[in-house]
């Protein structure tokens, strides 16, 4: 699939089939996250793959009761390691969030190529998930997503609700 087709038709999916994801497909999707760019190539990410249905259901109350998360055959939890050093500047320790976000974004795009749906979940209880999943103290949950084949045949489409280029780009100066 052409790259531009991928990014145009990646959509948030909130209904999933229970169909399993073949191992080779899952591996390709995770590999897309693995090879992402990061500041100083520090790769401060770790991915937890959840397949156990009971464990998955326990995640739902820690994610604002978004029940569809447990419909998918897999939930992927993206964790980030706190950075002990930074190069100064206003970004400071938040650099980890940038790195993990880039990696996780690649995962969502690779999922699209494989006709798998994702839904970036940003509404979650970090401390609750850390405790529930045994995530070390010096790491944080950055995002999670259900991963599975969409229940609806029309799940992937070009969304007309995006702002036009003229609204989001200026040349030479902001104004
Ligand atoms: C940082 C972030 C957090 C989000 N959190 C949630 C969430 O908790 N629940 C949800 O259903 N969708 C969530 N979304 C999905 C957005 O609602 C969705 O990306 C947006 O409406 C645009 O739709 P699209 O992904 O199909 O382009 C989140 C997306 C991002 C990038």
What's residue 33's pLDDT? 99
Ligand 1 nearest-atom number relative to CA 162: 27
Assign 165 a pLDDT band (cuts: 50, 70, 90).
very high
- Ligand 1 mean position to 12 CA, how many Å? 6
Would you list the domain boundaries of the chain? 3-168
For the four alpha carbons of 142, 148, 154 and 157, in that order, the dihedral sign comes to positive
Residues with CB under 6 Å of ligand 1 are: 11-12, 14, 66, 119-123, 159
pLDDT digits (tens, 9 = 90+) for 87-103: 666 777 788 999 999 99
- Ligand 1 mean position to 172 CA, how many Å? 31
Ligand 1 nearest-atom number relative to CA 124: 8
Angle at which helices 95-113 and 23-34 pack, to 10 degrees? 150
First to last CA, the chain: 38
Higher-pLDDT residue of 142 and 90 is 142
Nearest Cα to Cα of residue 59 among 76, 79, 37: 76
pTM for this entry: 0.97
- Ligand 1 mean position to 116 CA, how many Å? 16
Q: Which helix (H) or strand (E) holds 45?
A: strand 45-50
CATH of domain 3-168: 3.40.109.10
- Ligand 1 mean position to 118 CA, how many Å? 10
Residue to mutate (ligand 1; options 9, 12, 118, 156; most atoms within 8 A of CB)? 12
- The answer, yes or no, to whether residue 5 has pLDDT greater than 80, is yes
Q: What is the dihedral of CA 58, 62, 63, 67, to 10 degrees?
A: 30
Assign 109 a pLDDT band (cuts: 50, 70, 90).
very high
């Amino acid at each position: 699939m052409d790259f531009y087709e991928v990014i145009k038709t990646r959509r948030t999916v909130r209904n999933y089939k229970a169909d399993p994801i073949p191992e080779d497909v899952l591996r390709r999707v995770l590999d897309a996250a693995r090879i992402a760019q990061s500041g100083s190539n520090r790769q401060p990410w770790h991915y937890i793959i959840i397949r156990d249905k009971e464990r998955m259901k326990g995640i739902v109350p820690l994610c604002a009761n978004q029940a569809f998360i447990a419909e998918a055959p897999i939930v992927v939890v993206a964790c980030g390691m706190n950075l002990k050093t930074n190069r100064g500047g206003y970004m400071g320790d938040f650099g980890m969030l940038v790195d993990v976000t880039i990696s996780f974004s690649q995962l969502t795009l690779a999922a699209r190529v494989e006709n798998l749906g994702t839904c970036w979940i940003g509404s979650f209880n970090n401390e609750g998930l850390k405790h529930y999943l045994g995530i070390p103290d010096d790491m944080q949950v950055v995002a999670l997503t259900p991963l599975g084949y969409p229940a609806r045949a029309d799940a992937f489409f070009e969304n007309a609700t995006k702002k036009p280029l003229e609204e989001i780009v200026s040349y030479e100066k902001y104004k």
